Every structure is written in C-alpha cells, then in structure tokens.
Chains A and B, each alone.
Chain A
Amino acid sequence: MISKIIRRTKISEWAYIVARVKVMRRKLIPRDEYAKLLNMDLHEIARYLEETEYKKEIDELAYRYSGVDLIDHALSLNLSRTYTKLINISKGLSKDLIVLYLRKWDFWNIKNILRGKMFGFSNDEIEATLVPAGEFDEDFFKSLLAKESIEEIVDAFKGKPFYPILQKLVHGEKLSNVEDELDKFYYTSIASLSAESIDMKYFIDFVRMEIDIVNMKTIIRLKKEGISPEEIMSKIIPYGYQLSEEEARKLSAMDLEEFYKAIEGYWFIDHLKEAIMTQPISKIENALTKVWAERMIKKSSNYPLSILPVLAYILLKKIEIDNLRIIARGKASEMSVDEIREQLVIV
C-alpha cells in the first residue's frame, strides 16, 4: 500500500513537469512560420523574435549588440535560461536526470572555451557560444575566460573525473582528440549506468539512441571523406542502442555500396536511405536529426508520464535554436532562401 502511494506521488511529480514542458512546447515556433522567417531580413527577424519567447533576451541585449550578433547572443542566452528553468522547476528523479543529461552543455562550453582560446578568438566571441546549463554556472565559465593560458583553464577542473582527459591537452595531445574523448566520457558515463527503474531505463535508452545517431553521423561523414576504418573506430562512442561497437567496426570497414545495404535494419533508417544516396553530408545529418526528433516525439507520446517528454522538448528547443541561428547567419552572409532552407531541420 505504502509503495503504491509513493508510486502515485511520483506520478504527480511527472505530471507537473510534463504539463509544464508540454505548454512550453506549444510556444516553440510552429513549422509554418519558418517560411515567413526565411523571407525576412535580419532586422525583421529580430523584431519577429521580440514577439516570441525570445523577447526578454532580445530586449536585454539590444543595447550591446545588433544584427546577427544580437540574434546569436539572444539565442544562446535563451537556450541557457530555458534549460536552467527545466532544472529549477523539476525535483526528485526528474531533476537528477535532467541535470545528468544537460551536463552535455558543460562539455560543450569547455570545448568552446579551449578551442576559442587556442585559435585566438576574443572572449566576447567565445562567450556568445556558451550555454551555461549544466553543473557549472555562467560565472564559472566567465572566470575561465578571464584565464590567460590553457594550463590554467585545465587546472580549474582539478578533481573532476574528466580532468585526466583535459590534462592530455597540456601534454601536447591534439584538441580534436581531447574533444572526442570528452564526448565519449559524457556519453559512456550515462549509458553505462544500470537501469534501476523503468524511468531510468527510458532515460538511458534515450541517451543510447542519441549515441547511435552521433555514431552514424561520424561513420557517414568520415567514410565519405575516405578516412580509414581504424581512425573511424577511434571516434566511435560505445554503448549504442542498436549500433554496437562491433557493428560499427563492421560498417566502417565496408565500402559505400555494402554500407547502404547493411544499415537498412536500423531504427533510424526510415527516411535516410534515399538521403544517403543523393544528398551531401549536411543533408544526411539533418535527415538523421529529424528522424531522431520524430522518433522521440512519438515515444514521448507513448510514455507521457516519464522523462521522455522533457527530453523531447530539450531536443526540439535545440533544433529551433539551431534553425533560427542558421537563418540569421545565412541572411547575414547573403545566402539564398533555398540554400538556407536546405540547412534547416523542420520537425
């Protein structure tokens, strides 16, 4: 009886966060609006965003930035605030799982700071790319930006489990390898957890499906560039949902024709095969992201009282931000409407 009551309590916790997230999802930009956005210039896009959920950020930053910089900064700030809000409005297991998933942005920020510092970008440019939404807050990342050398930045993470990976950078390892290792660390630290409850299982399966998508993108991109199977394998993340390391090894050793046939049975292949045959790599990656998002939307409707609707929202919000950024940057670099449209992932 008591365990049943506890179970009911959990349901009410899910009901609260899921209801909030569903209302937040309704406020995402509808797919039809992208056609309008594509025909606007930068000022009109900024004005359009002022009438949506981005109003606060645009208003706050308008005195410091303009044009594409304004949109860029506002989008990053909004993404960070949205994700932080998800952490703040959840509690119990849902909060733990959201924090765990959003640690991805810690690694994203660390990678951007390291890359930015190594290639001599200004602090302001690096700051525009930061999305403080995980374990570390904005002030921490700002303090990293203030540091002069890579060694000092790496030392700030002393005691963290991924510190040894960052240390390799100081010892002369290539940045791209360290970035790959950080990604592997993030994904394996979640995917190797044991699923103690059904809620945990949904979460871990979600992350493992994401690993499949990331691995598939890596294999296709590197295969098209003619990279050797060994090098491809060094970038493969273990613990995939369907695409195990062993299968990834087989796929990366195949030639393209065999490869197209071999991937037919995987869950993410629904709309992909056609895309692989005829399209450039960016379109294939977009197709994969779209398949992934559609699959998650479907799954989250099947399991409404779980973490899945929240994760689906996190995914859809990221896709929206990416789309808006692509449109803004495309307009700033005077790309044609068709070229920009091809880069969008409209779910």
Chain B
Amino acid sequence: MPVEGMVAVGAGLAVGLAGIGAGLGEQGIGAAAVGAMAEDPEFFGRGLLMTVIPETIVIFGLVVSFLLMFM
C-alpha cells in the first residue's frame, strides 16, 4: 500500500476510535442526564454539558486526522 493510503487509514482510525471511546464514555453520562432531565427539565443545560464533555476527545481525533491528511 502506498504511504498516502496508510495515512488515510491512520486518519480514519484516529476519528473512528476516538468516536467509539467517546460513545462508551457518554452512554453512562447520557443515561444519567436523561434520567435527571425526565424528573426535572432544569437539568437540561447541565445534562447536555456533561454529556458532550467526552466529545472533546473526538475533536482531538479529528485534529490528528486533519494533520495527517493535510500536512
């Protein structure tokens, strides 16, 4: 496989694995957030914030993939 191909696979893995990791992290937080919101809608803001925190790791993955693809 040419180097460009390996880079593309690496970039894909960086985003894909980061996404799986974030998803695993979010399921507990998301479930708790939905539970809290079901009882008291005022938890919407805090629940949403907590749920997206693991999402930051996907941004890192995305940045790594951009660096791989365009640098």
Contact = CB atoms under 8 A, between A and B. Distances in A.
A24 interface: yes
Interface string A15-50: 111111011101100000000000000000000000
A176 interface: no
Interface in B1-48: 24, 27-36, 38-40, 43
A20 B27 contact: no
A16 B31 contact: yes
A336 interface: no
A30 B43 CA distance: 20
B33 to A, nearest CB: 7
A20 B30 contact: no
Contacts of B36: 19-20, 22-23
B32 A18 contact: yes
B25 to A, nearest CB: 10
Nearest to A9: B27
A136 to B, nearest CB: 27
Interface residues of A, number: 19
Given A12-B30, A23-B40, A18 B24 contact: no
A82 B71 CA distance: 59
A20 B38 CA distance: 7
Interface in A180-195: none
Contacts of B29: 15
Contacts of A20: 35-36, 38-39
A5 B28 CA distance: 12
From A13, A19, A26, A89, name the one whose CB has the most chain B CB atoms within 10 angstroms.
A19
Contacts of B32: 15-16, 18-19
Given A16-B34, A19-B33, A24 B39 contact: yes
Contacts of B31: 12-13, 15-16, 19
Contacts of A15: 28-29, 31-32, 35
A262 interface: no
Contacts of A22: 36
From A5, A12, A24, name the one whose CB has the most chain B CB atoms within 10 angstroms.
A12
A17 B38 CA distance: 11
Nearest to A23: B39
B30 to A, nearest CB: 7
Contacts of A5: 24
A8 B35 contact: no
6 contacts: A11-B28, A12-B27, A12-B31, A16-B32, A19-B35, A26-B40
Which 8 residue pairs of A and B lie closest in terms of their CB atoms, listed nearest first?
A: A19-B35, A23-B39, A19-B32, A15-B32, A16-B31, A12-B31, A20-B35, A16-B35
Interface of B: 24, 27-36, 38-40, 43
Given A12-B28, A19-B35, A24-B39, 15 more contacts: A8-B28, A15-B29, A15-B35, A16-B34, A17-B35, A18-B32, A18-B35, A19-B33, A19-B36, A20-B39, A22-B36, A23-B39, A23-B40, A23-B43, A26-B40
